[in-house]
Amino acid sequence: MSTKNEILKGQILDEEVMLTLGELSRACTIHADWIIDLVDEGIIEPCGRDVSEWRFPGICLYRARSVLRLQRDLGVNLAGAAVALDLMDQIEQLRIHLHVLEHDR
């Protein structure tokens, strides 16, 4: 944990925000083909049948940026990133469950 004061910048996206393929790729500062690779790998899931109709919920931005960090920091490929994200999701669900159990005592 850092002892320095850090300034964090971000944008809050609720679950109702839907991003186009272009908006998602710009938000990640990455080419749209990489976003399509994430869809093909099952890491993110768009709404819509055709690529031109795809809309991504706000959580896809979080997941895509997480994959970028895993690739940049750890050299993880997309398959490895998919596994890591699934494990991170499971850990978060377990934390929530534990929190509920602790407060029911």
Give the CA distances from residue 31 to residues 22, 39, 103, in Å, rounded to whole numbers and listed in that order: 9, 13, 45
**Statement: residue 10 has pLDDT above 60:** no
Instruction: List the domain boundaries for the chain.
Output: 18-103
CA distances from 61 to 55, 67, 103 (A): 11, 10, 32
% of the chain surpassing 90 pLDDT: 80
Q: In which element (H, E) is residue 19 found?
A: strand 18-20
Q: Which of 14-18, 40-44, 53-57 has the lowest mean pLDDT?
A: 14-18
CATH class name, domain 18-103: mainly alpha
Interval 62-89: pLDDT, tens: 999 999 999 999 999 999 999 999 999 9
